Amino acid sequence: AELWSTPSCGHTAGGIAARSTPSTPGRQDTCVMPVTLEAIDITLIALYFVGMAAVGIIFWARGGGDGGGQDEAESFFLAGRSMRWPAVGLSLFVSNVGSEHLLGLAGSASATGVACAYFEWSAALHLLLLGWLFAPVYLRCGIATLPEYLGRRYGPRLRRWLSLISLVLYLLTKLSVSIYSAATVLTSVFGWPRWIAAAGLVGLTACYTAVGGLAAVIVTDVAQSVVMLVGAV
């Protein structure tokens, strides 16, 4: 939440960041003040980040060095195909609903109305089609991604092109926005420079993903989904 103050921006209310109202077009709104945190707040935040890092280390220690070749790749990229559907579902939920939704979509809805959420509601139909029509085909064929399926159906050239296009689009339209919005939250809370906050987020996420694989990602996603849902309530 944000409380809007006069252009002088000389105070915060209730420990929440206050900033000036952009009353004129082109006016730069830079008066963002960090939130005052108590000791319990800092402790909980520190424990959260330590827990995220610990998950990666635990899964690395549990699976590091076991198997090899295809088995090792399947364990890293597919969590050994051992995850149950509740964990997979919560991981998909958190992967789709990130900081860009909690900040950007909520802000757009506040400014322009609920129409901006219609696109998100349409995802329900797409997920049903994926679950009932495409997922059974993927499972029968023993594949995990759409490029892999198209590679078997049409050849490796299409697989490479779709993989490249998907990575570029994801970096430009999803990952960059998520990192920027999350870094904005850390900047508002701690007063850190935004690029330092973004680098810290990327570094922590890369570490536990690299050492723990998809299993570490799913477990941390489950924990984050609980935090998001409880916090939303």
187-230: pLDDT as tens digits: 888 888 899 989 988 888 888 788 778 888 888 888 888 887 88
SS3 state of residue 9: coil
149 neighbors 138 (Cβ within 8 angstroms): yes
What own/partner pairs with CB < 8 Å and gap ≥ 24 does 195-204 have? 204/49, 204/52, 204/53
Crossing angle, helix 194-232 and helix 176-190, to 10 degrees? 90
Residue 59 token pair: 């899964």
70 neighbors 221 (Cβ within 8 angstroms): no
pLDDT in tens, 138-191: 888 888 788 888 888 898 899 999 999 988 988 888 788 888 888 888 888 888
| Amino acid in position 148 | E
Q: What percent of the chain has pLDDT over 90?
A: 4
- Rounded to whole angstroms, how far apart are CA atoms 96 and 102? 11
- Rounded to whole angstroms, how far apart are CA atoms 133 and 117? 25
66 neighbors 75 (Cβ within 8 angstroms): yes
Indicate whether this model's pTM tops 0.85.
no
Q: Which residues contact 99 (CB under 8 A, 6 or more apart)?
A: 178, 181, 182, 185
